[in-house]
Structure 1
Amino acid sequence: MQNSDIDAGLTPPPLMPKVERQRLHDTVVEHIRRFIVEGVLEPGKKLNERELCETLGISRTPLREALKVLAAEGLIEIEPNRGASVSKMSEAEMRETFELMSGLEAFSGELAAERMTAAELTEIKALHYAMLACRTQNDLAGYYSRNQAIHDKINEAARNSALRQTYIAVNRRLQALRFRSNFQMPKWDSAIHDHDEMLKALEARDGKRLSTILRQHLLDKRDAVLQIQSREDAAAAKLKA
């Protein structure tokens, strides 16, 4: 009687299709998340599955799997028999979520100033200067990705897993709004000034100073977003009148 390959001690082949499927799933989630953050898919917009499949070059199965993940993150809403749409936060939700994030960022900064390694500080400096280069080129998408990487690195350097999990969950809901907060040049330049001060506080290991800067930085973003939203609501009301 012949033994099977496994009985003979041979290692079974790796399950490559599952690996590839997971990679596709993560890529689709990341693409749609970026579309939402950068305003390609606007708040309240109903998602057209056929168009998204054509844009991303995928079938409906991985798309629907990705939409479930994004729904769990609060970025989209899925209604039975009505499909999916991009979530739209109310003014109260915006205020409350930015207030919460300001506290999370402040606490991250206070801990990071104490716990950050020299290598992490060097990495943040590199991101900071790359971010400034994007600003000179008016590259908002490039600026934002580096900006968010800096905030993320500060949160990681806090080395508090409970804080990390909460930060990630809350920040995902705010990323599109944080992106929009830079639509006005004065607000964008003010944010850069804040980042200059953040870097100085990090270099000085001044946790209290960094905490104060980060808290106000997020509250300023809240105010900028609410101002933009107020103007858009007024314009929409005019069109309906």
Structure 2
Amino acid sequence: MALPDAIDGEAMSAHGVAEAARPIRRRPLHDEVTERLRDMIVEGQLAPGTRVNEAALCGQLGVSRTPLREALKILAAEGLVDLLPRRGARVAGLSAAELGELFEVLSGLERTAAELAAARASEADLARLTALQARIEQHHAARNRHDYAHDNHALHEAIVALSGNAVLKEVHARLMTRVRRARYMALLSQERWDESVAEHAGILAALAARDARRAGELMHRHVARTGEVVRAALAG
């Protein structure tokens, strides 16, 4: 009877050696710089329309201009930065008209995603969404907008992933880099922030009940309402 234990122990030891022998994968420096700059743009630390001061950012982030410029190229491809020939870079502006169009498309995409997720998500998937919502509620209670915004983004991405539709997921991902700034702006309204947390709970309840129609309707209303709040703020 001791034989299986011995085999398991040897296998575990071999696995441990293999794990230890694997090289440590380090993220390229420009990826880390990209993430930091993306957060700074999303959270308004780098305001729309402002020129990017490369020297100041290099000093702030402790990097050279090479990874910074690589990061700016990535952010330009995402629509967050405009590269100006021979004049550096500028944080891309936000217009109420563009955001209106973005949220029209996004509300439709996420409505479809919620409808499909209600039918296709497993019980384990729904449990993970519930755990994520619990973290979101903790961030809201602590008035931690930074972590709330990250987990809010993760929740929406997770529901889209649970749709099981690769095309929908691809199109959604292309839009999200342009929408994240707007979603963060909506959090600056305490009333909208409070509403959003409650709306998430309703959406998850509909998903758990496998009510595709209601999950889709609630998601559409939730996303469209965020768009309305941001457009009103920009117009004001």
| TM-score, normalised by the number of residues in structure 1 | 0.85
1: CA distance, partners of 2:79 / 2:227? 18
Residue-by-residue CA offset, 1:129-148 (whole Å, 9 max, x unaligned): 11111111111112221111
Secondary structure of 2:28 counterpart: helix
In structure 1, which of residues 199, 204, 209 is the aligned counterpart of residue 204 of structure 2?
199
How many residues align? The count is 215
Matches within 5 A, 1:132-211: 132-211=137-216
Q: Which of 78, 82, 105 does residue 77 from structure 1 map onto? A: 82
Deviations 1:175-206 (A, max 9, x none): 01101112111111111121110111111011
Displacement of 1:120 in angstroms is: 1.5
1:150-171 per-position Cα deviation (integer Å, ceiling 9, x unaligned): 1111011111111111101101
Alignment of 1:106-117 (within 5 A): 106-117=111-122
CA distance in structure 2 between the aligned counterparts of 1:70 and 1:62, rounded to whole angstroms: 12
Alpha-carbon shift at residue 89 of structure 1 (Å): 2.4
Match of 1:55 in 2: 60
Corresponding residue SS for 1:85: strand
Determine helix, strand or coil for the equivalent of 1:181.
helix
- Which residue does 2:4 correspond to in 1? none
The answer (yes or no) to whether the contact 2:96–2:235 under 8 Å persists in 1 is no
Residue pair 2:120, 2:162 contacting (<8 A) in 1 also: yes
**d(CA) in 2 for partners of 1:26, 1:181:** 27
- In 1, are the aligned partners of 2:30 and 2:70 still within 8 Å (CA)? yes
Deviation digits for residues 91-134 of structure 1, max 9, x if unmatched? 21010011111111111111111111222111110111111111
What letter is aligned with 1:139? Answer: N
Describe how 1:222-241 pairs up with structure 2 within 5 A: 222-231=227-236
Give the match for residue 123 of structure 1. 128
> How far apart in 1 are the matches of 2:30 and 2:128?
29
Q: Which residue of 1 aligns with 2:222?
A: 217
The TM-score normalised by the length of structure 2 is 0.87
Pick aligned residue for 2:38 from 28, 33, 40: 33
Deviations 1:75-100 (A, max 9, x none): 11001012111111222101001111
Give the superposition deviation at 1:214: 1.0
Q: 2:71 — aligned with what?
A: 66
2:49 aligned with 1:44, yes or no? Answer: yes
Q: Give the letter for the 1:48 counterpart.
A: N
Q: Which runs of 4+ in 1 moved over 3 A?
A: none
Mapped contact 2:186–2:226 kept (Cα < 8 A): yes
1:207, distance to aligned residue in structure 2 (A) = 1.4
Percent of paired sites with the same residue: 38
Q: Which of 86, 102, 106 matches 2:107?
A: 102
CA distance in 2, matches of 1:105, 1:45: 31
